[in-house]
Structure 1
Amino acid sequence: MFTAAFYWIAWWLFQPLNRLIGYRTTPSELAAKLALDPTKPVVYVLAARSWGDLFLLDRICRDHGLPRPGRTGTNLPSTSQAGALYLPALLETRIRDTALTAVVTRAAADPAFDCQVVPVSVFWGRDPGQETSLWKLIFADSVQAGMIRKLIIMLVNGRNVYANFGLPMSFRDFVANQKAPDFAVRKLGRLLHIYFLHARTAALGPTLQNRDVVIQQLLNTTRVKEEIAAETRRGKLNAEQTAAKARRYAEEIAANYSATSVRFLEIVLEFVWNRIFRGVEVFGMERLRVEAAQGHEIIYLPSHRSHADYLLLSYVLYRSGLVVPHIAAGVNLNFWPAGPILRRGGAFYMRRSFGSDRLYAAVFRAYVDSLIGRGYSISFYPEGGRSRTGRLLAPKAGLLGMVVESALRQSARKVSIVPVYVGYDKVWELSSYFKELRGAQKQKESASDLLKGAKLLTKSYGRVHINFGEPMQLQEYADKHLPGWRDSLRAGTETPPGWRDFVGRLALANHRRVNAAAVASPVSLAAVAMLASPQRAVSRTEFIEQLAHLVRLLEGRPYSDTLEIPVKSPAESLEWAAPIARIATVPHPWGDLLDVADRDAVLLTYARNNIQHLFAVPSLIANLFRTRAALSEEAVVTGCRALYPFLRTEFYLRWEPAEAEQVARDCIEVMLKQGLLLRNDDGRLARPGVSTPEFSTLAMLGRVMGETLERYCMTTLLLADERRTQQSVARDKFEEDCRRLAERMGVLTGRDSPEFFDKALFKGYLDTLIDLGLVTEGEDRKLLVDARIERIAERSLELLSDETRQTLLQLLSRRPQAATVALETPSL
């Protein structure tokens, strides 16, 4: 009786404070995500004995329309009264009988009783505590906190509370799967204990170490000590000077993570994002939570399109109740005041190239080992730099190899690699990107850029889309693709045979999962359709029809399970995209027209390139009908199968080459259902009549990959030309010739698209030809061309329009300083 009275007194006294508490929940839409069954009682399980946690839980349930927890005493919870249970009380029943023992045992033994068990973690503040800081140990939340310390923690952190609700579990289903009721109760306690430990680590991360301690530990590692000794023997510095040099490297690299700084950055960034963006949409968070809930250490590998990526990823994770990762940032960002701020937000710095500085490499590798060993989540960009075109850059395997090796050498926990797609309606660096693609020098980041950045607050850049893709469990991936890794890496020996290929394969797998998690936003869909329209102008009615077809293509044959289409209404997509993409409306008596200026069209290519890969196969199929009214299905499938390896290399498509035939057939079926293709009486596939809306969409769809196919054609024609003249050609010169040909072609055809002559794209296509055995690269980097390339060059011309084909052949015939042989246009 006394305890009950004291409880209610405490409840009333707590209410003024309860109303002032600022909390966030995960998931944010509790009622919808938990989907509690109203016919079954609910039991909330809290991680610690705390009336403060219970009183806050009551308020959260009231705010979200959930059953409110109450004191049930020795009675079982009912549909009219939810129960609340502290994990320590449940664990105590494993040691001795308590008042709770009889209640739980009776519930387990009664086959007619069932309830929904919902674990709830309440975190007052987001500070994991620091091992050597008494101040932080006092004010950081702790499950061991006593009454007085808990009250202090609540007062200090009351505006930054996070409550994580686990998905409900059926008590009866769990008991039914165990051999005895008492055993079930004990096992339930163990499982919940593990769940709460994982939830705490996912939200707060491991306890922090003082930065000076971290640096000293790095210098004391065997790897660094050995390299200091070797450097001393090699160089002009003595041992003390070399050790001081290693310390400078460590201080340059190491993060100085501060929960207080992260909280401050969240407040500042919320203001900034609200000014320059019209929303930050997050997808795939539940996939990520599954990995975090299982206690996996997370390595985030996002796409890299803007300097905002660093801050956005941390912001989104923190707002979603997950610990902010340590992020590898280029040392170019380590300038005052941005460098120290980012460092306190979890950034650690690395040089673009280690060169021959073995001491720096040893210190950096030791730091990566320390992060992995202590269980910190890590994020870095496998592309190495920001994409200037909107497409994924070829992955760089250096840092990935270090992180993966460190992760596989430790056996304490499982590691998951999480691909992250980051897309923008509009990237604020676009103008500088296109200048760099045209040859301008990249400007070095500096403090003055921050002052210029204030202008961003006066502009709107639309919406940001972040999608966490399908994770890869690293150890399982290694078991499949690197046999014997456990024996070699765990034994501390050198990396196993095939390590370089394994890391390269892993990097490509992540890229494909990033693209699989693409977000087909209204702006990117509008960019796809507008840039594929002749002269970048189209009637409003036709444009809306084309947007509808693009969405139905993605829905009819989804690119992946992780693909997201946030807006499916074509009219709503146009309404959103028009002001951001600067699509102008031109009134006309026969119906409004849509138009985009030349400069804005160039900027739109970035948004198109974010999702162009989603339409690679449908566009290829449409291209095959550019000069043919009808084709057999087998001819279409054969064409797709032949070109798919090149598309896969350039766009990091998710399907294996062996799957290309089935993917092509699936796309054909979807296009038939939409009327974009017809099937004749003789069974052949045919394009629709030229006066139909479907023909217009098919033509637009074919132009989506038009520039890509033109580049393929240029490369094969140049290779065939080199073979006919029997001239040996250096690879570097050939790639430069391809770029110059594309550059000239772009000028003559009025194409203002800098990525059209991006040298990296020709390099990737040449790599695929080498993989297929059509080109051989010698040790001197000279190219030997197979005779089959001439037939491929002739067939590739069929994918071009008459005007483009004529222009390209004229350019080749007039190529300077080359004895060219005229190519006849094949009969079509």
Structure 2
Amino acid sequence: MSGPLTSIFYWLAWLLFRPLNSLIQYKITRADLRAELKLDPTKPVVFILPTRSWTDLFVLDRICKDLALPRPSRTGLNFPTPDHAGVVYLPAVLETRIHPTELTRLLETAAATKTYDAQLIPITLFWGRDPGKETSLFKLAFFDSPQASAIRKLFIIIANGRNVFANFGLPLQFREYVDKEKDATTAIRKLTRVMHFHFLRARTAALGPTLLRRGVVVSTLLQSKTVQLALQASANDSKKNYTPEQALRYARKCALEICADYSTVSLTFIERFLGTFVWNRVFKGIDVQGLEKMRQLATTHEIVYMPCHRSHADYLLVSYSLYHAGLVPPHIAAGINLNIPVVGALLRRCGAFFMRRSFSGDKIYTAVFRAYVESLIQRGYPIEFFPEGGRSRTGRLLAPKTGLLSMVVEAGLRQRTRKVALVPVFIGYDKAWELNSYSKELRGAAKQKESVQGLLKASKILGKSFGKAYINFGQHLELQDYADTHLPSWREQVKNSDGPIMGFKPFIAQLAAEHMRRINDAAVANPVSLAAVALLSSPQRAVSEEELVEQIGHLIWLLKGQNYSPLQYIPESAPRAVVDWSAPIARIRRAPHPWGDLMALADRDAVLLTYNRNNIQHLFALPSLVANFFRTRGMLPEEAAVMGCRALYPFLRTEFFLRWDMQECETATRECIEVMVKLGLLTRTIGGDLRRPDVASPAFSTLAMLGRVMSETLERYCMTALLLAEESKSDLPLQRDKFEEDCRLLAERMAILTGRDAPEFFDKALFRGHMNTLIEVGLVVETDAKTLRVDAKIERVAERSMELLSDEARQTLLQLLSRRRTPVVTAPDASV
């Protein structure tokens, strides 16, 4: 009678739950579930649920109905068919391993029937997103648990019915597993084990580890070996003069200042607030790529997200996108400047932990912070921090800061649970919120401190449109595997000692540079950035609409043809659509004309648009360099172009974090030339030389535009080489700081004389990076006294670099150099 009674109770429960089911709100992990599942309509579908729950089954039935998927049904002793999908509870399958059941016989019969196959889809329903926290009876009663009783499940439904998350796994083929094994029993056991681990990993990826109360975290930090050693050292520090009690109080104060107070309730609130009141008003959409990779990675690795830093919106967008996709939002390293009233507390409850801009020899603070980072890694919490250390004011990637990276890497190498994956994240915007303030800061204005008053003023952005935001998760780097290759002895050192790892500092520098290259590999060539590249490379920042569309088309085909990276993303590849989308956002003015409309930028808008250009300038570094060889010549042997690129490539690679190493440079250059030939931007002569297009042809206009993309960069290189060649003739010691300042002043003067309103052109950091590369390639030697010794070859380099400049730029630069130290002489009175 158990069968008929069970059916009666089932249908009675279905009728009672039906009104409640219509009120439940759910989300699914995959944006286009039907397309991603790729179900074969000729094979039966079997849904597998991790727990026995009619409630979960009823909700799953509603989801399948809404999405036009096969609806699950209780098939009893019958096989599921293509017209009637089945459902199986994992506990029922596990029971078959203990004693034979009706399900055992059904599975064995299906396995023995060689023509029978099915698509197995594991489904996990999360009621709320709380991983569990040692706090209160309320949470124990109302938050989801796989072991919840029927009564407790009712409370869970009441509390979390509007926050249900459905995680659909990709289908597994029943026959594939069965045919690999010698008998049906072994195949079913293996399949059960696979499903069991899938559900465990899915829960970890979606909810994360169990949370600890903040007080417990602080107490644990103070008892850690790292902090205890720092406290002992402080007792012997005559400068600090701490008593043991004072040192302990200060350590506790540091821990409370640092630690997050992670709350899923706050996360749910901020996700709904941002989605309803901010993103929908500010952005026309958030375009996220690579989430499926992250979903798979989260089941097997400890993840450290390391995005580029463009805006204060970055950390909100990344956490929002991950949470919205069913993944655990990370704990985020935030600057202490963001710990302002109200905002700081909310960020802390959303996973932010705060760090000072400088630890300045504070051993106790350093120890507490290091211990906290180690605890996050060891307990399996995902982490996020910005390797650049601060927001880029120019749109370029900044040189990475390695302090926090060193702590994360060391903690990752010393933990032995799961592998650590460092994930590069490219973030881009059609228009960043802070562009106006960035422009002012580059001109010397003081950075505005974060405050509640500033936050209230920033609310005015809600009335403006900033286009779309773009997030692209790049190719992760597996920390332990990378260390095996580049730091071979690390395993023995970590096993045998708690001390510093030999060779760790250069390893971190190499790892940081590699990570920045991987961020650029995932670059998003959004419409506004493409329009910025073309318009800012046009004379007077104006061009006919027809020509602009044509040039953007060439830029897109260059990206597709050479394929800088498999992970690069072009959201819009129709040139006309790029122009139409960009015009209102970038404030591109249209000037009607009988011969065709003109598109132009006002000076102020052009300055702001350099930020977008700089986001993707590295994608066109090689094509632009090749184009520059034809700026002053009509024909050039292909080998000469390749060798020219090889000579300048080290400088471009350092400045733009380009992906190819020196051994790959020649191959990449030849591929680039081949694409340019196919597009008609260059032609090959019978003798193998490269020829530029006729001056009157549209292709020549595009080639000239492409050359101007890197013109300012090449001018900076030329300035440095010419100044070094001049200084090398003097017997006086050349101080590095003084020389870099001279380079900056020369660039600033040239910018004014040539009418460029681009503060980034004379950014001292760019000259510093260029100087580092000159030292690396051996053209300059830096002494211990910070003076420079210049190789005689620099004169030849300066001479060759002049060939890459336009006639106007060359003349201006030579005039500036000739007058640099000329004393000021009063002109004679013409009346005398």
**TM-score category (smaller protein):** over 0.9
Preserved CA contact (<8 Å) 1:774 1:786: yes
Q: Does the Cα contact within 8 Å between 1:69 and 1:84 map onto a contact in 2?
A: yes
Does 2:453 correspond to 1:448?
Answer: yes
Q: TM-score, normalised by structure 1?
A: 0.98
1:266 aligns with 2:271: yes
Q: Does structure 1 conserve the Cα–Cα contact (< 8 Å) formed by 2:143 and 2:159?
A: no
Q: RMSD across aligned C-alpha pairs, in angstroms?
A: 1.2
Equivalent residue runs for 1:85-164 within 5 Å: 85-164=88-167
Q: Tell me how far 1:818 sits from its aligned partner.
A: 10
1:42 maps to which of 40, 45, 66: 45
The superposition leaves residues 381-408 of structure 1 with CA deviations (integer Å, 9 ceiling, x where unpaired) of 0000000000110001100010111111
Partner-residue secondary structure (3-state), 1:114: coil
- Compute the displacement of 1:758 (Å): 0.7
1:225-374 equivalences under 5 Å are 225-234=228-237, 235-270=240-275, 271-293=277-299, 295-374=300-379
- State the partner residue of 2:827: none
Residues 32-76 of structure 1: CA deviation (Å, up to 9, x unaligned): 111111111111111111111111111111111111111111112
Determine the structure 2 residue equivalent to 1:822: none
Give the aligned residue type for 1:774: L
Name 1:190's counterpart in structure 2.
193
My pick for the range that moved more, 195-204 or 526-535, is: 195-204
The 2-side partners of 1:178 and 1:736 are apart by 72
Question: CA-to-partner distance for each residue in 1:689-746, whole Å, 9 max, x for gaps?
Answer: 1111111101000000110111111111111111122332111111111111110010
Higher mean C-alpha displacement, 576-585 vs 45-54: 45-54
The reply to whether residue 401 of structure 1 matches residue 406 of structure 2 is yes
Which residue of 2 is the match for residue 826 of structure 1? none
Secondary structure (helix, strand or coil) at the match of 1:799 reads: coil
- Measure, in 2, the Cα distance between the counterparts of 1:688 and 1:708: 24
Give the match's secondary structure for 1:297.
Answer: strand
Residue of structure 2 in register with 1:572 after alignment: 577
The 5 A counterparts of 1:70-85 are: 70-85=73-88
1:749 paired with 2:792, answer no
Kindly indicate whether the alpha-carbon contact (under 8 Å) linking 1:296 and 1:416 is maintained by their aligned counterparts in 2: yes
> Are 1:605 and 2:610 counterparts?
yes
Per the alignment, do residues 767 and 205 of structure 1 end up closer, same or farther by CA in structure 2, a change over 3 Å counting? same
Q: Which residue of 2 aligns with 1:31?
A: 34
What is the match of residue 202 of structure 2? 199
Q: What is residue 382 of structure 2 aligned with on the other side?
A: 377
2:672 paired with 1:667? yes
1:370-769 matches, cutoff 5 A: 370-769=375-774
**Shift, 1:439, TM fit:** 1.6
CA shift in 2, pair 1:818/1:465, >3 Å: farther
- Counterpart-to-counterpart distance in 2, 1:818 and 1:245: 59
Listed one character per residue, the Cα deviations across residues 217-250 of structure 1 (whole Å, up to 9, x for unaligned) are 1011121122112212323221111111110000
Distance in 2 of aligned mates of 1:87 and 1:478: 39
Q: How many residue pairs align between the two structures?
A: 818
User: In the alignment, residue 166 of structure 1 is paired with which amino acid?
Assistant: G
2:828 equivalent in structure 1: none
Maintained 8 Å contact 1:410/1:490: no
CA distance in 2, matches of 1:90, 1:683: 70
For 2:100 and 2:197, the matched residues in 1 are separated by 22
Find out whether 1:781 has 2:786 as its counterpart.
yes
Q: Conserved in 2, the CA contact under 8 Å of 1:586 and 1:593? A: yes
The whole-number CA distance in structure 2 between the counterparts of 1:33 and 1:11 is 30
* Letter matched to residue 73 of structure 1: G
- Looking at structure 2, the residues matched to 245 and 816 of structure 1 have their Cα atoms a distance apart, in angstroms, of 55
- Aligned with residue 218 of structure 1, among 221, 246, 260: 221
Is it true that 1:772 corresponds to 2:777 in the alignment? yes
Q: C-alpha separation between the residues in 1 aligned to 2:241 and 2:683?
A: 77
1:296-316 CA-to-partner distances (Å, cap 9, x unmatched) read 111000000111112111111
Once the two structures are TM-superposed, the CA of residue 462 in structure 1 deviates from its matched residue by: 1.1
Greater Cα offset, 810-819 or 143-152: 810-819
Q: Is the 8 A contact 1:522 1:576 kept in 2?
A: yes
Q: Which amino acid letter does the alignment assign opposite residue 581 of structure 1?
A: A
Q: Displacement of 1:636 after TM fit?
A: 0.9
Measure how far apart 1:121 and its partner are.
1.1
> Which whole-Å CA distance do the structure 1 matches of 2:30 and 2:180 have between them?
28
Q: Are 1:21 and 2:27 an aligned pair?
A: no
Partner of 2:58: 55
Aligned counterparts of 1:713 and 1:243: Cα–Cα separation in 2: 56
> 1:450 Cα deviation (Å)?
1.1
Q: Is the 8 A contact 1:408 1:490 kept in 2?
A: no
Instruction: Give the residue type in structure 1 aligned to 2:640.
Output: A
Which residue of the partner structure matches residue 13 of structure 2? 10
- Amino acid corresponding to residue 798 of structure 2 in structure 1: A
Query: d(CA) in 2 for partners of 1:90 and 1:612?
Result: 56
Residue 324 of structure 1 deviates from its aligned partner by: 0.8
Q: Deviations over 1:91-133 (max 9, x none)?
A: 2222222221111122222221111111111101011110233
Instruction: Provide TM-score, normalisation by structure 2.
Output: 0.97
Greater Cα shift, 427-436 or 745-754: 427-436
Greater shift, 12-21 or 540-549, is seen at 12-21
Check whether the contact 1:298–1:378 (CA below 8 A) recurs between aligned residues. yes
Equivalent-residue separation in structure 2 for 1:615 and 1:158 (angstroms): 50
Distance in 1, matches of 2:202 and 2:256, equals 32
1:314–1:325: 8 Å Cα contact kept in structure 2? Answer: yes
In structure 1, stretches of 5+ residues that fail to align are: 820-828
Shift in alpha-carbon separation, 1:752–1:107, aligned structure 2, 3 A: same
Work out the CA distance in 1 between the residues paired with 2:97 and 2:304.
37
Corresponding position of 1:823: none
Match of 1:825 in 2: none
Report sequence identity in percent: 61
CA distance in 1, matches of 2:234, 2:676: 64
3-state DSSP of counterpart to 1:415: strand
**Deviation of 1:817 (Å):** 7.4
**Alignment partners' CA distance in 2, 1:481 and 1:133:** 47
